[in-house]
Amino acid sequence: MTSVSEEEHGTPAARTKVSVIDDDPMICQAMRLVLTDYSGGRLEVTSTSTDGATAVEHARRELPDVVLMDIAMPGMDGIETTRALRALPHPPHVLILTSLSPGGTVERAVEAGAEGFISKTDAPEDIIRRVMGVCREAPQFNTASQRQLIGDLSTQRFRSRRDEARALLDSLPEREREAVVLAAEGLTNAEIAARMFISERTAKAHLSSAGARLAMGRVQMARLVERADLPPRS
């Protein structure tokens, strides 16, 4: 594997200070070796920590440029620790050191102030490039983190549309809502009337009233029910 050169165009570069946080001391040691041995002197690991509170205290004293942050830690997890680090008077850049699970990790970490992600299995040169890149204010998202972020946003959008549809259905009177749901299942007016123990004329009236309230036709209301993804009826 190649290392990142200490000099670019013959001009020595200042060392970038890095702090590593992981609840596994072996991971901390491995990352220290990677950052030290493959950076050509460009990176200096100022400290390693196995918990969030200690990491924040180290950052207060050492003023690291970049923190590599694990997510799953006892007590203050990586998301909360990231938020605390970014609130310091001299906040470091934070790169999440993670396997990117469970779902929602990327979105939550970005909201807390993280600027990118590094997999613990990334090649050393890739890890170093991301550390140096974030110091140039360039977000560092590897393929896995980009894929998860897109997935999280898609799930969030689905939930938002589902909740909106459910709210619209819940705005209807109970009997009208029941008629709309039955119609969405493909029942005719006569079948809806039989299921609800009402006349066919009343079933039609319920659907007509619901359509007026929602400003939708029968097909649109069926799609609304589909989007609401209602739980199975008991």
What pLDDT, in 10s, does the model give residues 42-57? 999 999 999 999 999 9
pLDDT at 120: 85
Question: SS3 of 203, please?
Answer: helix
Residue among 97, 58, 92, 62 at smallest CA distance from 77: 97
Q: pLDDT at residue 7 above 50?
A: no
What pLDDT is stored for residue 231 in this prediction?
A: 85
Within 13 Å and on the Cβ side, how many CA atoms surround 37? 9
In the chain the domains, ranked by start, together with CATH numbers, are: 7-149 (3.40.50.2300), 171-228 (1.10.10.10)
Find the mean pLDDT for residues 4-11: 44
The gap between the terminal CA atoms of the chain, to the nearest Å, is 61
Instruction: Enter the DSSP assignment of 30.
Output: H
Residue 17: the pLDDT is: 96
Residue 232 per-residue DSSP state: P
- Average pLDDT of the residues in 192-217: 95
pTM exceeds 0.75: no
Q: For residue 152, name the pLDDT band (cuts at 50, 70, 90).
A: low
Residue-level pLDDT at 5: 47
- Mean confidence (pLDDT) of the chain: 86
Give tens-digit pLDDT for 208-221.
Answer: 999 999 999 998 99
55, 85, 41, 11: CA torsion to nearest 10: -160
- Please, what is the Cα angle at 8 between 7 and 9, to 5 degrees? 115
d(CA 34, CA 48): 13
pLDDT tens per residue, range 78-108 = 999 999 999 999 999 999 987 655 455 777 8
Read off the pLDDT of each residue in 163-184 and give the average, rounded to a whole number.
94
pLDDT of residue 148: 63
Q: Give mean pLDDT, residues 138-166.
A: 71
pLDDT at 137: 83
- Specify the range with the lowest mean pLDDT, choosing from 2-11, 119-128, 177-186, 188-197: 2-11
Peptide bond into 124 cis (omega under 30): no
Which residues is 21 bridged to in the sheet? 49, 69
Q: Is the pLDDT of residue 125 over 60?
A: yes
